[in-house]
Chains A and B, each alone.
Chain A
Amino acid sequence: MVVIDARGLSCPIPVVRTKEAIDANAKTPLAVLVESEVSRDNVSRLAASRGYSVKVERIEDGFRLMLSPPE
């Protein structure tokens, strides 16, 4: 599990970080921590476009996105 803490980073850095992690760790589940609804949606959309399934959990200061790679 690779964890990316993108809380507090402005748009589009959470997406850039997630994209780098996806490219560098194929077939590894990722956990991305984001703070805003905007980043949650942007990262979810990127992950879905790469075939990842996305589970969103609320955490105290934002969201934890669990990205599972395509089978």
Chain B
Amino acid sequence: MRRLSRSLSPRLLLIVSGLIFGALASLLVRWGNPDNMGFCAACFLRDITGALGLHRAEPAQYIRPELLGLVLGSFIAAFSFREFRTRGGSSPLVRFLLGALMMTGALVFLGCPARALLRLAGGDLNGITALTGLVSGAFLGIVLLRRGFNLGRSAAMPAPAGWLAPSFTVILLLFAIFTPFFIFSSVAGPGSLHPALWVSLIVGLAVGLLAQRTRMCFVGGWRDVVLIRDFHLFSIIAAFFVGALVTNFALGQVGHWGFSDQPIAHDEHLWNFFSMALVGLAATLLGGCPLRQMVLSGQGDTDAAVTVLGMMAGAAASHNFGLAASAKGVTTFGAWAVGLGLAMALAVGLLMKERRQT
């Protein structure tokens, strides 16, 4: 029993990590990030996609150093604790598709599961609609997991494959530092709002270290509560919310409580619910939220890296094809994309099964 308790991360570490991350997310707004968007895995990856010119939404183009730090922090933590292992081969193309669908959903709501909490901690009650949708989608995913959904086993691969994602991240960091002519940078809008590069990078590194060690996941926490009544991962989510809320109050960053006129948000309840249901479903099938996929990419999981590429493709498609929502509301195509996305994720969940051996 003692050996068991030693092998488990103590609950206190999780709570402290969640509080630190929540406080840092709130501080990042003070230091320059857009309101209620101190840290957002989906929005920031969308901004990076735009900075590379893969979509041309001019207000959403910036290489967000937070995410580069996240991947590199995870890489450093995994390496230091001998958890870096190159793996892959578990239905990469299906993961690419689910990653793209997950991003499409997040960009209709305007935030990843972590930003849903940050929006709520800033007074935006649409966060509640979104979290209800997220948990509903995760519940659907759990039903599919119980029916035997499985993307197949991953296998060990030669180490260099696992180094690719951290290497790409370093190249992106060089692009962020030297901004060569082909990198786009917003001059107005959310993409133009950010702290100094080194501030974002250091916070990202710290979050990456914490996230790798605690296995933080903003869908897994909800999933485990429903699936096995386990509050282990949920304690990070709760602490993250409390940390952001308290820091927002301390900094006077809590806006007005309500649904309308919230920063970088719309109040179309139906689509806030269903878009995040899509995110919850896709993330449960993938085994982790957008943030977790990036952390896994840093520790040698090439399937997670393919998922992140899928998310970037989803971000490009969302803006190039007019699917992404804006403060003005959801587009017609965006609503269709959420409906079709749910149907596609459901089909994946029903059709992908591994032959049971045990």
Q: Interface residues, chain A, CB within 8 Å of chain B? A: 2-5, 7-13, 15-17, 19, 21, 36-38, 40-41, 44-46, 48-49, 53-56, 61
8 Å CB contact of A48 from B4, B145, B287: B4
**A54: which B residues are within 8 A, CB to CB?**
4
Q: Is the CB of B287 within 8 A of A10?
A: yes
Whether the Cβ atoms of B146 and A37 lie closer than 8 Å is: no
The answer on a CB contact under 8 Å between B230 and A49 is yes
Secondary structure of the B side of the interface?
A: loop
- Contact flag A53-B223 (CB < 8 Å), given A13-B145, A41-B9: no
| A31 CB to nearest B CB, Å | 10
CB–CB A44/B7 < 8 A: yes
Contact A13 B150 (CB under 8 A): yes
**B228, CB-defined interface residue at 8 Å:** yes
Check: B261 CB closer than 8 A to any chain A CB: no
* Contact A45-B8, Cβ < 8 Å, known A10-B90, A12-B223, A12-B227: yes
Closest B residue, CB atoms, query A53: B1
* Contact residues, B28-86 vs A (CB, 8 A): 83, 85
A46 to chain B, nearest CB (A): 6
Smallest distance from the beta carbon of B53 to chain A beta carbons, Å?
Answer: 32
Do A10 and B156 touch across chains, with their CB atoms under 8 A apart? no
The interface residues of chain B lying within 8 Å CB-to-CB of A2 are 358
Give CA–CA (A39, B223) in the complex, Å.
15
Q: How far is the CB of A7 from chain B (nearest CB, A)?
A: 7
Are B1 and A46 in contact, CB atoms less than 8 angstroms apart? no
Cα distance, A46 to B85, chains bound together (Å)? 24
Q: Is the CB of B155 within 8 A of A8?
A: yes
B145 touches A46 (CB 8 A): no
Enumerate chain B residues within 8 angstroms of A13, measured Cβ to Cβ: 145, 150, 287
Additional pairs, 18, CB under 8 Å, beyond known A36-B83, A36-B85, A37-B83: A8-B153, A8-B155, A9-B150, A10-B90, A10-B154, A10-B303, A12-B145, A12-B287, A13-B145, A16-B146, A16-B227, A21-B358, A44-B4, A45-B230, A45-B232, A53-B1, A54-B4, A56-B7
Separation of A41 and B232 alpha carbons in the complex (Å): 11
Chain B interface residue bracket vs A: 20 to 34
B4 lies within 8 A of A15 (CB):
no
Q: Are A11 and B220 in contact (CB under 8 A)?
A: yes
The answer on a CB contact under 8 Å between A15 and B227 is yes
Interface residues of B (CB under 8 A from A): 1, 3-4, 7-9, 83, 85, 87, 90, 145-146, 150-151, 153-156, 215, 220, 223-224, 227-230, 232, 286-288, 303, 357-358
**What are 24 pairs between A and B in contact, CB < 8 Å?**
A2-B358, A8-B87, A8-B90, A8-B154, A10-B90, A10-B154, A11-B288, A12-B145, A12-B223, A12-B224, A12-B227, A15-B228, A16-B145, A16-B146, A38-B215, A41-B7, A41-B9, A41-B215, A44-B8, A49-B229, A53-B1, A53-B4, A56-B3, A56-B7
Q: Known contacts being A53-B1, A56-B3, is A46 close to B228, with CB within 8 Å?
A: yes
5 A-B pairs with least C-beta separation: A8-B153, A10-B287, A11-B287, A8-B154, A54-B4
A49 & B90 in contact (Cβ 8 Å cutoff)? no
Least Cβ distance of B278 to chain A in Å? 19
Residue of B whose beta carbon sits closest to that of A16: B145
Distance (whole angstroms) from the CB of B96 to the closest CB of chain A: 15
Do B228 and A19 touch across chains, with their CB atoms under 8 A apart? yes
